Structure 1
Amino acid sequence: MSKPWIKRVFPGGNTPLGFYSFYDFVLPREKGKKLILLKGGPGTGKSSFMKTIGQKFLDLQYNIEFHHCSSDPASVDAMVVPELKVGIIDGTAPHIVDPIYPGAVDEILYLGNHWDGKKLQQQKEKIISLKKQTNLCFQKAYGYLRAAGMIYDNWIMNQKQYMDKGKYNEKVQSLLETLLGNLPISPTLGEERHLFGSAITPEGFTNFLPSIIGHYSRVYEIKDEPGASAEELLNTLYQQAIRRGLDVECYHSPIQVGKIEDLLIPSLDIAITVSNVYHHTSVAPTQTMDLTSCIDQSKQQSIILELEQDQKTFENLVEKAVEYLKKAKASHHELESYYIESMNFESMVDLMESTFQRLLQLA
């Protein structure tokens, strides 16, 4: 029996558009059997709750998904068992998730039943102050990311003028024919799932790409840069795949949310991943396509200093955003400490076991 694997992804991200959520794709309700929505304050053990139950499923040889928090990648915001179509998700702000089909598919599990409300009331002023401080840090981080996004767009515009569009189109067509050329158009569209494969976190650019693409036998690496972006290529490939009835998983860029950086086509055992200075993996590709060769390097030399300045400014702005994400994380951890002190975690042991058993019974 092969060893079970853990896929690690990000359901939301810190982006130039602010906090961007793909939480509806964690476990689409119409296809799911059971989705438990955890409610409660910070520090109430939601992440540990999901990690513990996830480990129990791993021990039974089930593959699982851990959906990590972009503001604290050591923490998880959701756990899914794909084979059983069951999951648990943190339904609290900033990614509030509420039941859509209460009882039939999803339900709320309130961890506030395990805290001492009197202790929290005694710390009311401090809790309110820390919450406001955390929110302010996030707003500052998003301001810097918004500015970084504008500079990145400028970087694209400056470099793109030296791209050979004909050469680029040839590469796009070549990959389409290689991967999908013999497959007919289907009367029904394939299903699509959208998440983040990487994130801008308090640790900087962070990804768990080996856990996403490492199990695929055919891995196509697409080398790109701002002016010779894989955005058009992967968006075209994704659209053509679902037109052929193929289910796909699309993993988006935290810099440009509309750009797909990793595309999985499970039925073909194919993964396509973008490789650049901000997004790359240790997984060895079976084939590589270099879009950067579409840039006329000799002509680009006339604005090389401007391009270098674009990159430097972009990276400085991201660095400032990360600085405030670190401050937000520190404030949030201090806020969590008040809840941790008020929680009765021993009383949650039986709740974790009963929740696990309820999900397992759906096998």
Structure 2
Amino acid sequence: MEEVSTSLSIDEMKQIEGEIMEKAHKLFDAKDADGFARLLNDSKPQFAKLTNTRTAKIVRLCIEYLIQIPGVNEEREQTVNEWIEWSKDEKRAFLRLRIELCLAQLYYQMEEFQKMRTLLMKLLKEVKRLDDKRLLVEIHILESQCFIRLRDLPRARASVTSARMEANVVYIPPLMQARLDYMSGMLYSQEKDFKTAYSYFYESFEAYDGLNNKEQAISALKMLVLSKVMQNKPEDVTTLFTGKLTLKYNTPEIIAIRAISSSLDHRNLDEFQAALNTYPKELKEDYGVASHLEQLSDTLFEQHLSRIIEPYSVVEIAYVAQLINMKVEVVEAKLAQMILDKKLSATLNQDTQCLTLTEEPAKSNLFSTSTELMEGMRKILDSLAQKASLIK
């Protein structure tokens, strides 16, 4: 049961809480970071009248709203640190841990990954002593985010594994499970295992969609589509967006990633570059997508070249370079690489500066068939020898 103040009834405390949270919602809608700092400071006399549980809830929610307001990083960081100190002075250990977790999320937004890592390591030691499993899961999820951005994938994998182990022994809300699935997908996508990443992003998307959390659902859907694109399966993306899904998630983020998928389907590098120029915020500023753009660009460059030279048996390299508006040296180097990687059956003539396409030799199954036949005969002869030994 909640501890009741001697001066106020439960209904009166609920009224105070409601008034403060109503102001907080208005400040969040107005994106007023300074307003949150004033609201929390002005509410200190009211906190003295409320129980610890209600006070902790109000402060935590206000801080969570505050860190979601974009920009004004210095003001947000200062406010969060002030309330960490307030929690220490008031000896509110669990509230302090929650606010410090919010500070770690703020550091992630500010891309202060070393600060974030240091803070999370300190939090991890404290929370392990308290044995708060749910808070441990949250810390490990944030830790995996941090390590992925630091390109430390072994530690990111260790964090995701730890989060899953803790989640197996305690109930975690669906929203937290969705976050864990999303980070698992991010990890596998960074490790280039896009098939496994797709399954995790799909689980995450379904959870967010079921919880009507559209913002996070869009992020999961975008990464889900990217996983199909990176597997070179743009046709699956077309199948995915049928009916309700197309109408519900027809946002700039999804339109952008579908434009990338379309460029891959058409094997058109110009379409890819046009998508990047049209949707820089949705593609280049999203780390999950941006970290794969170079590989996608390279793949599309190869496919674009393949599409152009397909009709020819002999073609001038300068002509190909002119068609895709690139330097001859760049195109020649890429064609040479494709030939060496056996992605293209052709030869480059340095004297004529031409590319000569050759037919790939038909693959013969004679060797494998002969090997199987001889292995079968060996087994028959061994069987006959065993039977002959029994007759003796």
Give the structure-1-normalised TM-score. Answer: 0.24
Bigger RCO (CA 8 Å, 6+ sep)? 1
Q: Higher strand share goes to which structure? A: 1
Give the structure-2-normalised TM-score. Answer: 0.23
**Bigger Rg over Cα:** 2
